[in-house]
């Protein structure tokens, strides 16, 4: 069995930022109505292919989501992906792994370049 680091396709960078999350396709993301921005996600780390975020609620594996990155300049960037895993934390929150869509790669790379 491989470790998480062995399965990653891109290096991760630690990030401390807030993204805004919504469900794209259904109510698979509990507490969120499709089409509405309903929650903030605290970013733990990110790469060109994925994110790890902390949420105050659990989400279903396979849920399609959209995330907005609010840059310091005031611009908003939309990225999207699929929930791959979710684990409870000791703080009554959930760590969530998100695999980003290929189309989100350039946007996430620009974001990572601007915050480092």
Alpha helices, DSSP H only, in 1-116?
A: 4-7, 105-115
CA dist., res. 41 & res. 115, Å (int): 17
| Model pTM above 0.85 | no
pLDDT in tens, 29-69: 544 444 445 677 888 888 889 999 998 888 889 988 888 88
Q: Of 2.130.10.10, 3.40.50.1700, 3.30.360.10, 2.40.10.220, which CATH number belongs to 8-115?
A: 2.40.10.220
**Residue 104 pLDDT > 50, yes or no?**
yes
Q: Contact 53/63 with Cβ under 8 angstroms?
A: no
pLDDT of res. 34: 47
pLDDT per residue over 2-29, tens digit each?
445 445 566 565 566 666 666 555 454 5
| Segments making up each domain of the chain, as ranges | 8-115
pLDDT at 25: 56
């Amino acid at each position: 069995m491989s470790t998480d680091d062995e399965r990653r396709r891109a290096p991760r960078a630690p990030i401390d930022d807030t993204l805004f999350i919504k469900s794209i396709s259904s109510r698979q993301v509990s507490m969120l109505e499709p089409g509405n921005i309903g929650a903030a996600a605290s970013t733990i780390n990110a790469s060109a292919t994925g994110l790890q975020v902390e949420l105050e609620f659990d989400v279903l594996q396979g849920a399609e989501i959209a995330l907005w990155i609010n840059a310091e300049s005031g611009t908003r960037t939309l990225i999207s992906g699929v929930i791959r895993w979710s684990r409870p934390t000791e703080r009554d929150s959930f760590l969530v792994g998100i695999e980003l869509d290929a189309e989100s790669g350039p946007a996430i790379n620009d974001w990572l370049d601007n915050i480092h």
